[in-house]
Amino acid sequence: MPPVRRKPWAAVLQATNYGQICPQTGGARTGGLIEGEDCLNLNIWSADPGASGMPVMVWVHGGGQISGSGANAIYDGSNFARDGVVLVTCNRRLGAEGFLYLEELFGDGVGTGNLGMQDLACVLQWLADNIKSFGGDPNNITLFGESGGAAAIQAMIATPGASGLVNRAILQSGGHSAQRPATAKEIARLVTNQLGIKRGDLNALKRVPWRQFVDLYPELSERPDLGQPQIYQPVLNEHMPIHPVDATFSGIGLDVDYLIGTCRDEANFFSWLVELEGSQFDRRARQVIEAAGANFSDVLARYGELRPDLDKEGRFSAVLGDMWFRIPSLRIAEGHRQHSARSTYMYLFEWASPILGAAHTLDLMVFGNGLPLADMSGFKDFEKTAAFMRKAWVDFAHTGHPKADGQLWPSYAQQRATLSIDDSPALIPLSYSQQFPMLEKAVTTHWGDAGL
């Protein structure tokens, strides 16, 4: 069901410890935090609750819509608060709890396939009513997130009813995609059949412990025909009729300032975890390249020309990472550049660890709390780059423009300018369309129509 705000209380509510985190379908470590269904909570860092008018930055955690929480230690908001914003982290329902599409089986309003997006909207509605008590400005809200968090932000922006709840968005390495109704219905039927729940028996559905939904996930994830490209993600239906990647081309999100970027070597992180060849990353990359009317081998060859430092495996990894993360990010930026009068900024994170390069998740250094893969970073110093990012992010929250330490950062509207974020930030001389002209169609094509 849609999220419900907690009823007012009479006594003092102790809110000095993290609450429950949402069930972790991906089996991620919870660090001793308790998983449970009463998990819709948020955390606030404010340097001065007695102040007024401070920008509010709301962090939306990653984890591919199956794991993660706002209580991860790396998301501690102390540094952001000291830099002059009110920092909020939050939870949203994940896995089946947030994205199982049950309306066909149980009626309108039950399992809309986008409950995780409704949870984010509920967070923003709560902040509109309450963030003044923490020194925040309810009329200056910046949503920012990484990976699945960035994808969730864009999906929420594409959801009717979310308009006006967010002023700015920072999308870090978003793997933007959507589930089709036909596939979503098939997943729902498989899950309910496995659990022995008959169509329309809502009481039986409610009695199922959340752990049983989690335990079914490994079996579902072994079915490459089910995910588009993943099992649990926002569903294209009346609740989110526009593919998130198409939103800006469809006039949605044009009242939002955007700062969008990806990491240069995204897939290096995943190559450390899984065999990339034949994986969902491989399948998705080929889908995107086919939609562009390009040839996979030609794309690999072009990567070899532009990045001669990469071996065959490195080129393959680079292509997969860009097709999953960078191409959809560029499409969102391109639509916003063409149709919105608000700010559009692009970056490419190129700070490279000695072992993994500029891999997925390393941009989480922006919090200043270390690196998620510290043992893989080769102990390379990241503080300078992290401080630059945080200053740029905070500037963007204040003004809609990421001016950091005097660094020239032109708008993406100006010749599709992109800033390389590294120890020494610099403008990238060629736009992506000039570097990879054979992929331009993937940026300009309608993803909803193309089945992406």
Residues known to be catalytic = 147, 266, 360
Question: Does 229 sit behind a cis peptide bond, omega within 30 degrees of 0 on the bond before it?
Answer: yes
User: Do the Cβ atoms of 159 and 77 come closer than 8 Å?
Assistant: no
In angstroms, rounded to a whole number, what is the distance separating the alpha carbons of residues 86 and 48?
9
SS (HEC) of the chain: CCCCCCCCCCCCCCCCCCCCECCCCCCCCCCCCCECCCCCCEEEECCCCCCCCEEEEEEECCCCCCCCCCCCHHHCCHHHHHCCCEEEEECCCCHHHHHCECHHHHCCCCCECCHHHHHHHHHHHHHHHHHHHHCEEEEEEEEEEECHHHHHHHHHHCCCCCCCCCCEEEEECCCCCCECHHHHHHHHHHHHHHCCCCCCCHHHHHHCCHHHHHHHHHHHHCCCCCCCCCCCCCECECCECCCHHHCHHHCCCCCCEEEEEEECECCHHHHCCCCCCCCHHHHHHHHHHHHCCCCHHHHHHHHHHHCCCCCHHHHHHHHHHHHHHHHHHHHHHHHHHHHCCCCEEEEEECCCECCCECECCHHHHHHCCCCCCHHHCCCCCCHHHHHHHHHHHHHHHHHCCCCCCCCCCCCCCCCCCEEEECCCCEECCCCHHHHCHHHHHHHHCCHHHHCC
* Among 289, 415, 244, CA closest to 344: 415
For 262, the token pair is 């990806």
For 233, the token pair is 């993600």
User: Do the Cβ atoms of 358 and 263 come closer than 8 Å?
Assistant: yes
